[in-house]
Structure 1
Amino acid sequence: MPLSHRPVRPADIATLCNLPQGPDELFYMFPKATYPLTPEQLSEAIAQRSGSTVIEIDGAVAGFANFYKAEHGGICALGNVVVAPTARGQGVARYLVQRMIALAREEFAAREVWVSCFNHNTAGLLLYPQLGFVPFGIEERQARDGSRVALVQMKQVLS
């Protein structure tokens, strides 16, 4: 299963909108969006962000992420992370996050990469520390239903 990566293309938008499977997954990927994710919502986010990257398996879109903050020589903050349901458990998220760390290092000369993960996102909470991220803060946020959720903030210092 060869994985590859490339910048997002306009033709990817409709496919990417179908990756989050339900309101909870969309909340993890893009808390400000309203389910179902629309091309307008995603296109607007991409236009305001940096480094929007698609992961492919044999030419099919399997994952997506970008930076909502990208400071040259400073911090790159990872956002909109999502993996296609059919590609989960196959190392796509690991590859995606590793590619984004490399992009932060190569394109932005970043000193740190930050990621935030909601407490219900067990897969993310287990993956990020395996890739060298260390928790540094927890913020209280509100879920769509008004309940309290914890947003765990993690960072990786780049050398």
Structure 2
Amino acid sequence: MLLPPPMDTLSHRPLADADIPAVCGFPRTAEELYFLFPRAVWPLTPDQIRATLDSRRDPTVATVTADGRERVVGYANYATFEDGRTASIGNVSVDPALRRRGIAEYLVRTMIGRAFDHYRLPDLTLYCFNTNTPALLLYAKLGMTPVALETRMTPQGDPIALFKLRLERAGWASAPRIAA
């Protein structure tokens, strides 16, 4: 197994078809899959990911290279995208063996930077379930603030809160940057 990567060894690139099996391994349980890909059915399969690609924009993987071998360690995309208006980051997921080591932050910063610096969008949104405390703390650290709360039902039929978080380009302008 790869050792946890320091932030400076991470890079990103567009998702390739050969990356999809690795991404399918990120959710460890049906519950995790619901949080990462709410419309997917357990277990996550390459066909399910491929089926979403037509409706997503900029599917991106985070990678780390060790011993000359590249390994996919994270995935995200824009779940929605309105040219010149807004986008919503979706499907943020990280290899379970490497969670809480900065990969999600790197990937989300990459997607935010691209939205604001490349596409020049005025704002960006992201949805996160209330039970995903590490993600909510990360998004707050990056300057995202809750703007709405929706009630959803888990696959087991239990109610769960879904936060809509928002970040404006002006708020991002003073945030620490990494290359995107």
Aligning the two structures, in what range does the TM-score lie when normalised by the shorter sequence?
Answer: over 0.9
Partner SS, residue 55 of structure 1 = strand
Moved over 6 A (4+): none
Letter in 1 for 2:98: A
**2:79 pairs with 1:72:** no
Between stretches 100-109 and 4-13, larger displacement belongs to 100-109
- Distance in 2, Cα, partners of 1:123 & 1:36: 23
- Distance in 1, Cα, partners of 2:106 & 2:73: 11
Equivalent residue, structure 2, for 1:127: 138
- Distance in 2, Cα, partners of 1:38 & 1:28: 16
- Distance in 2, Cα, partners of 1:109 & 1:45: 24
**2:45 pairs with 1:34:** no
CA contact (8 A) 1:72 1:109 kept: no
Partner SS, residue 51 of structure 2 = helix
How far apart are residue 9 of structure 1 and its match? 0.3
Equivalent residue, structure 2, for 1:87: 98
Unaligned runs of 5+ in 1: none
Partner SS, residue 25 of structure 1 = helix
Equivalent residue, structure 1, for 2:22: 15
- Distance in 1, Cα, partners of 2:20 & 2:106: 21
How far apart are residue 106 of structure 1 and its match? 3.4
- Distance in 1, Cα, partners of 2:127 & 2:153: 14
- Distance in 2, Cα, partners of 1:7 & 1:131: 23
Partner SS, residue 33 of structure 1 = coil
How far apart are residue 152 of structure 1 and its match? 0.7
CA contact (8 A) 1:114 1:155 kept: yes
How many residues are paired up?
Answer: 159
TM-score between both structures, scaled by the size of structure 2: 0.86
TM-score between both structures, scaled by the size of structure 1: 0.97
**2:63 pairs with 1:56:** yes
Superposition RMSD in Å: 0.9
In terms of Rg, which structure is larger? 2
How far apart are residue 108 of structure 1 and its match? 2.4
Unaligned runs of 5+ in 2: 1-5, 171-180
Partner SS, residue 150 of structure 1 = strand
- Distance in 1, Cα, partners of 2:117 & 2:82: 12
Letter in 2 for 1:113: L
**2:80 pairs with 1:44:** no
